[in-house]
Amino acid sequence: REVIEMYAKAIHGAAKDVARKLAESLGLSGDFFESWVCQFRINKYNFTPETVGSSGVQIHTDSGFLTILQDDENVGGLEVMNPSGVYVAVDPVPGTLLINLGDLAKAWSNGRFRNVQHRVQCKEATIRISIASFLLASNEEVEAPPELVDSEHPRLYVPFTYEDYRKLRLTTKLQAGEALELKRIKS
Ligand SMILES: O=C(O)CCC(=O)C(=O)O
Ligand SMILES: [Fe+2]
Protein backbone atom coordinates (compact mmCIF):
# COMPACT_ATOMS: atom_id res chain seq x y z
CA ARG A 1 0.00 0.00 0.00
CA GLU A 2 2.81 2.38 0.89
CA VAL A 3 4.51 1.66 -2.41
CA ILE A 4 1.32 2.32 -4.36
CA GLU A 5 0.77 5.60 -2.53
CA MET A 6 4.31 6.73 -3.30
CA TYR A 7 3.97 5.70 -6.91
CA ALA A 8 0.63 7.52 -7.21
CA LYS A 9 2.02 10.72 -5.76
CA ALA A 10 5.11 10.69 -7.95
CA ILE A 11 3.17 9.92 -11.13
CA HIS A 12 0.56 12.59 -10.36
CA GLY A 13 3.33 15.16 -9.96
CA ALA A 14 5.05 14.01 -13.15
CA ALA A 15 1.76 14.15 -15.09
CA LYS A 16 1.14 17.75 -14.00
CA ASP A 17 4.75 18.66 -14.85
CA VAL A 18 4.42 17.25 -18.35
CA ALA A 19 1.07 19.00 -18.84
CA ARG A 20 2.62 22.30 -17.75
CA LYS A 21 5.49 21.82 -20.19
CA LEU A 22 3.04 21.04 -22.97
CA ALA A 23 1.23 24.29 -22.19
CA GLU A 24 4.57 26.10 -22.25
CA SER A 25 5.22 24.63 -25.69
CA LEU A 26 2.15 26.59 -26.80
CA GLY A 27 3.56 29.74 -25.23
CA LEU A 28 1.40 29.59 -22.11
CA SER A 29 2.51 29.73 -18.53
CA GLY A 30 0.32 29.33 -15.51
CA ASP A 31 -1.07 26.85 -13.03
CA PHE A 32 -3.66 25.38 -15.37
CA PHE A 33 -3.41 21.82 -14.07
CA GLU A 34 -2.65 22.29 -10.37
CA SER A 35 -6.08 21.02 -9.23
CA TRP A 36 -6.39 18.30 -11.85
CA VAL A 37 -6.66 14.77 -10.53
CA CYS A 38 -5.03 11.52 -11.49
CA GLN A 39 -6.65 8.12 -11.86
CA PHE A 40 -4.85 4.80 -12.14
CA ARG A 41 -5.68 1.56 -13.82
CA ILE A 42 -3.76 -1.66 -13.69
CA ASN A 43 -4.47 -3.67 -16.83
CA LYS A 44 -3.97 -7.41 -16.72
CA TYR A 45 -4.37 -9.36 -19.93
CA ASN A 46 -4.68 -13.11 -19.68
CA PHE A 47 -3.62 -13.88 -23.22
CA THR A 48 -4.11 -17.48 -24.34
CA PRO A 49 -3.22 -19.40 -27.54
CA GLU A 50 -6.82 -18.74 -28.69
CA THR A 51 -6.54 -14.96 -28.32
CA VAL A 52 -3.28 -14.58 -30.26
CA GLY A 53 -3.94 -12.23 -33.18
CA SER A 54 -7.01 -10.64 -31.62
CA SER A 55 -7.46 -7.40 -29.76
CA GLY A 56 -6.77 -7.18 -26.02
CA VAL A 57 -8.08 -3.61 -26.02
CA GLN A 58 -10.08 -2.23 -28.93
CA ILE A 59 -9.09 0.95 -30.68
CA HIS A 60 -9.73 3.95 -28.41
CA THR A 61 -8.48 7.31 -27.30
CA ASP A 62 -7.94 8.02 -23.64
CA SER A 63 -10.54 10.46 -22.36
CA GLY A 64 -8.25 12.50 -20.10
CA PHE A 65 -5.57 15.07 -20.84
CA LEU A 66 -2.60 12.75 -20.86
CA THR A 67 -1.76 9.21 -19.86
CA ILE A 68 1.48 7.98 -18.39
CA LEU A 69 1.76 4.36 -19.33
CA GLN A 70 4.06 1.93 -17.64
CA ASP A 71 3.92 -0.84 -20.18
CA ASP A 72 4.78 -4.49 -19.69
CA GLU A 73 8.53 -4.71 -20.14
CA ASN A 74 8.43 -8.14 -21.74
CA VAL A 75 5.20 -8.37 -23.70
CA GLY A 76 4.52 -5.98 -26.58
CA GLY A 77 1.20 -5.42 -28.27
CA LEU A 78 0.54 -1.70 -27.94
CA GLU A 79 -0.12 -0.04 -31.28
CA VAL A 80 -0.79 3.63 -31.95
CA MET A 81 -2.36 5.06 -35.07
CA ASN A 82 -0.22 7.54 -36.94
CA PRO A 83 -1.76 10.57 -38.70
CA SER A 84 -2.09 8.57 -41.94
CA GLY A 85 -4.25 5.98 -40.20
CA VAL A 86 -1.61 3.26 -40.05
CA TYR A 87 -1.01 1.26 -36.87
CA VAL A 88 2.52 1.52 -35.56
CA ALA A 89 3.73 -0.96 -32.95
CA VAL A 90 5.19 0.59 -29.80
CA ASP A 91 7.65 -1.98 -28.55
CA PRO A 92 8.34 -1.97 -24.83
CA VAL A 93 11.52 -0.27 -23.68
CA PRO A 94 12.43 -1.37 -20.15
CA GLY A 95 12.85 1.47 -17.68
CA THR A 96 10.79 3.98 -19.63
CA LEU A 97 7.35 5.50 -19.32
CA LEU A 98 5.18 6.31 -22.30
CA ILE A 99 3.00 9.39 -22.57
CA ASN A 100 0.07 9.80 -24.87
CA LEU A 101 -2.48 12.57 -25.17
CA GLY A 102 -6.21 12.14 -24.83
CA ASP A 103 -9.46 13.93 -25.66
CA LEU A 104 -9.10 16.64 -23.00
CA ALA A 105 -5.74 17.66 -24.48
CA LYS A 106 -7.36 18.19 -27.86
CA ALA A 107 -10.23 20.20 -26.35
CA TRP A 108 -8.07 22.24 -23.97
CA SER A 109 -5.53 23.12 -26.69
CA ASN A 110 -8.32 24.16 -29.08
CA GLY A 111 -7.33 21.38 -31.47
CA ARG A 112 -3.57 21.89 -31.41
CA PHE A 113 -2.80 18.62 -29.62
CA ARG A 114 -3.92 15.31 -31.06
CA ASN A 115 -5.80 12.64 -29.11
CA VAL A 116 -3.97 9.58 -30.30
CA GLN A 117 -5.89 6.42 -31.11
CA HIS A 118 -4.35 3.20 -29.85
CA ARG A 119 -5.09 -0.45 -29.14
CA VAL A 120 -3.48 -3.51 -27.63
CA GLN A 121 -3.03 -6.61 -29.78
CA CYS A 122 -2.41 -10.05 -28.36
CA LYS A 123 0.98 -11.22 -29.64
CA GLU A 124 1.67 -14.22 -27.47
CA ALA A 125 -0.08 -16.50 -25.02
CA THR A 126 1.07 -15.02 -21.74
CA ILE A 127 0.04 -12.61 -19.03
CA ARG A 128 0.61 -8.95 -19.86
CA ILE A 129 0.43 -6.20 -17.25
CA SER A 130 0.46 -2.43 -17.67
CA ILE A 131 -0.24 0.52 -15.40
CA ALA A 132 -2.03 3.49 -16.95
CA SER A 133 -2.21 6.78 -15.03
CA PHE A 134 -4.64 9.31 -16.45
CA LEU A 135 -4.50 13.04 -15.79
CA LEU A 136 -8.14 14.12 -15.59
CA ALA A 137 -9.64 17.54 -15.01
CA SER A 138 -10.92 18.81 -11.67
CA ASN A 139 -14.67 19.43 -11.25
CA GLU A 140 -14.39 22.62 -13.22
CA GLU A 141 -15.20 22.98 -16.87
CA VAL A 142 -12.46 22.38 -19.40
CA GLU A 143 -12.06 25.04 -22.04
CA ALA A 144 -9.24 26.38 -24.15
CA PRO A 145 -7.55 29.39 -22.54
CA PRO A 146 -8.30 32.68 -24.35
CA GLU A 147 -4.69 32.85 -25.63
CA LEU A 148 -5.44 29.86 -27.85
CA VAL A 149 -8.57 31.40 -29.37
CA ASP A 150 -8.51 34.10 -32.05
CA SER A 151 -10.12 34.80 -35.41
CA GLU A 152 -7.85 32.31 -37.14
CA HIS A 153 -8.42 29.73 -34.41
CA PRO A 154 -12.07 30.04 -33.39
CA ARG A 155 -13.14 28.16 -30.29
CA LEU A 156 -13.79 24.57 -31.34
CA TYR A 157 -15.55 23.04 -28.34
CA VAL A 158 -18.13 24.13 -25.81
CA PRO A 159 -16.79 24.11 -22.24
CA PHE A 160 -17.61 20.85 -20.45
CA THR A 161 -16.74 19.08 -17.24
CA TYR A 162 -14.80 15.84 -17.38
CA GLU A 163 -17.63 14.08 -15.53
CA ASP A 164 -20.12 15.19 -18.17
CA TYR A 165 -17.78 14.11 -20.96
CA ARG A 166 -17.06 10.74 -19.39
CA LYS A 167 -20.81 10.04 -19.23
CA LEU A 168 -21.18 11.08 -22.87
CA ARG A 169 -18.48 8.61 -23.89
CA LEU A 170 -20.16 5.85 -21.90
CA THR A 171 -23.71 6.44 -23.11
CA THR A 172 -22.77 6.90 -26.76
CA LYS A 173 -20.15 4.12 -26.64
CA LEU A 174 -17.95 6.38 -28.76
CA GLN A 175 -14.54 5.46 -27.40
CA ALA A 176 -12.20 6.57 -30.16
CA GLY A 177 -12.48 10.33 -29.79
CA GLU A 178 -15.72 10.75 -31.75
CA ALA A 179 -17.58 11.83 -28.61
CA LEU A 180 -15.52 15.01 -28.62
CA GLU A 181 -17.06 15.94 -31.95
CA LEU A 182 -20.45 16.05 -30.20
CA LYS A 183 -19.02 18.93 -28.16
CA ARG A 184 -17.91 20.81 -31.24
CA ILE A 185 -19.29 24.29 -31.70
CA LYS A 186 -21.24 24.38 -34.95
CA SER A 187 -19.94 27.13 -37.16
O1 LIG B 1 -1.91 -1.88 -21.85
C2 LIG B 1 -1.52 -0.99 -22.61
O3 LIG B 1 -0.41 -1.01 -23.15
C4 LIG B 1 -2.40 0.18 -22.94
C5 LIG B 1 -3.61 0.27 -22.08
C6 LIG B 1 -4.47 1.44 -22.47
O7 LIG B 1 -4.47 1.92 -23.57
C8 LIG B 1 -5.36 2.04 -21.45
O9 LIG B 1 -5.41 1.54 -20.32
O10 LIG B 1 -6.03 3.03 -21.77
FE1 LIG C 1 -5.54 3.77 -23.62
102 alpha carbon, closest ligand: 2
| Residue whose CA lies nearest to ligand 1 atom number 1 | 130
Span from the CA of 120 to the centroid of ligand 2 (angstroms): 9
**Amino acid (one-letter) located at 103:** D
How many angstroms separate the CA atoms of 115 and 138, rounded? 19
- Cβ < 6 Å from ligand 1: which residues? 41, 43, 57, 62, 69, 71, 78, 118, 120, 130, 132
How many angstroms separate the CA atoms of 42 and 39, rounded? 10
Span from the CA of 164 to the centroid of ligand 1 (angstroms): 22
Q: Could you tell me the sign of the dihedral formed by the alpha carbons of 124, 56, 69, 88, in that order?
A: positive
How many angstroms separate the CA atoms of 180 and 169, rounded? 8
Strand-strand pairing, 87-89 and 127-136: unpaired
pLDDT computed for residue 30 by the predictor: 87
pLDDT computed for residue 147 by the predictor: 97
Q: Burial level of 31, CB count in 10 A (0-12/13-18/19+)? A: exposed
Span from the CA of 186 to the centroid of ligand 1 (angstroms): 32
3-state secondary structure of 23: helix
**ipTM entry:** 0.98
Span from the CA of 10 to the centroid of ligand 1 (angstroms): 19
From the CA of 43, give the closest atom in ligand 1.
1
User: pTM of this prediction?
Assistant: 0.95
45 alpha carbon, closest ligand: 1
pLDDT computed for residue 110 by the predictor: 98
Span from the CA of 12 to the centroid of ligand 1 (angstroms): 17
Query: Which residue in 78, 66, 152 sits closest to 114, CA to CA?
Result: 66
pLDDT computed for residue 88 by the predictor: 97
pLDDT computed for residue 186 by the predictor: 87
pLDDT tens across the length of the chain (187 residues): 899 999 999 999 999 999 999 999 999 998 999 999 999 999 999 999 999 999 999 999 999 999 999 999 999 999 999 999 999 999 999 999 999 999 999 999 999 999 999 999 999 999 999 999 999 999 999 999 999 999 999 999 999 999 999 999 999 999 999 999 999 998 7
What are the distances in angstroms from CA 130 to CA 20, 43, 142, 144, 152? Answer: 25, 5, 28, 31, 41
pLDDT computed for residue 43 by the predictor: 97
pLDDT computed for residue 65 by the predictor: 98
